[in-house]
Chain A
Amino acid sequence: MTYEPVLTKGIGELDLADIEVYESQGGYQALRKAMTQMSSSEVHEEVKKSGLRGRGGAGFPAGVKWGFLPDDGRPRYMCCNADESEPGTFNNKMLIEYNPHLLIEGILLASYAARCAQSFFYIRGEFKRGYEILVKALAQARAKGYVGENILGSDYRQEITVHRGAGAYICGEETGLLSSLEGGRGEPRLKPPFPAVSGLYGMPTIVNNVETLCNVPFIVDRGADWFLSIGTEKSPGPKIFSVSGCVQRPGNYELPLGVTLRELIEEHAGGLRPGSTLKAVQPGGASSPVLLPDKLDIQLDFDSVPAAGSILGTAGVMVFDQNACMVRTALYYADFFSHESCGQCTPCREGTAWTSRILRRLENGQGAPHDLAVLRALKGTMSGTTICLLSDFSITFLQSVLTHFEDEFAAHAAGEACGLQTREVRSA
Chain B
Amino acid sequence: MSSPAWVVERKGEIKEILSRYPYEKSAVMPLLHLAQDERGWIADEDIEAIARILETTPASVESVCSFYSLFHRTPKGRYVITVCGNIQCGLSGADPLTRHFEERLGIKVGQTTDDGLISLLVTGECVAACDGAPAVQVNLEYCGHVTLERADQIIAAIRAGDDAKAISDRFGISPKKAG
Contact = CB atoms under 8 A, between A and B. Distances in A.
A180 interface: yes
A309 to B, nearest CB: 20
B2 interface: no
B168 A428 contact: no
A164 B29 CA distance: 8
A251 B175 contact: yes
Contacts, number: 194
A28 interface: no
Interface in A95-147: 98, 118, 124-129
A335 interface: yes
B69 A93 contact: no
B178 A94 contact: no
A336 B21 CA distance: 32
B65 to A, nearest CB: 9
Interface residues of B, number: 64
A266 to B, nearest CB: 16
Given A129-B142, A168-B69, A336-B86, A252 B126 contact: no
Given A88-B87, A286-B87, A333-B87, A168 B130 contact: no
Interface string B133-162: 110010111101111101000000000000
A329 B68 CA distance: 25
Interface stretch (A9-17, A218-226, A297-305, A407-415): A9-17
A251 B170 CA distance: 19
B128 A85 contact: yes
Between A87, A242, A249, the greatest number of chain B beta carbons within 10 A of the residue's beta carbon is seen for A87
A324 B173 contact: no
B150 A427 contact: yes
A180 B22 contact: no
Given A183-B29, A423-B93, A427-B147, A85 B126 contact: yes
A89 interface: yes
A167 B126 CA distance: 10
Contact of A182 (B23, B130, B132, B137): B23
Contacts of A13: 177-178
B23 A201 contact: yes
A161 B64 contact: no
Contacts of B176: 12, 249, 251-253
A191 interface: no
A166 B91 contact: no
Nearest to B32: A166
Interface residues of A, number: 73
B86 A183 contact: no
B41 interface: no
B178 A8 contact: yes
A209 interface: no
Contacts of A128: 139-141
Interface of B: 20-23, 25-30, 32-33, 54, 63-64, 67-71, 85-88, 90-93, 95-97, 123-134, 137, 139-142, 144-148, 150, 165, 168, 171, 173-179
Given A75-B22, A245-B91, 20 more contacts: A8-B178, A10-B178, A86-B126, A88-B88, A90-B131, A125-B68, A126-B128, A164-B29, A166-B29, A168-B68, A182-B23, A185-B67, A186-B68, A243-B131, A252-B131, A336-B87, A422-B90, A422-B91, A427-B150, A428-B145
Interface of A: 4-5, 8-13, 75, 84-90, 92-94, 98, 118, 124-129, 161, 163-169, 180-186, 201, 242-245, 249-254, 286, 316, 318, 320, 323-324, 329, 332-333, 335-336, 339-340, 342, 422-423, 425-428
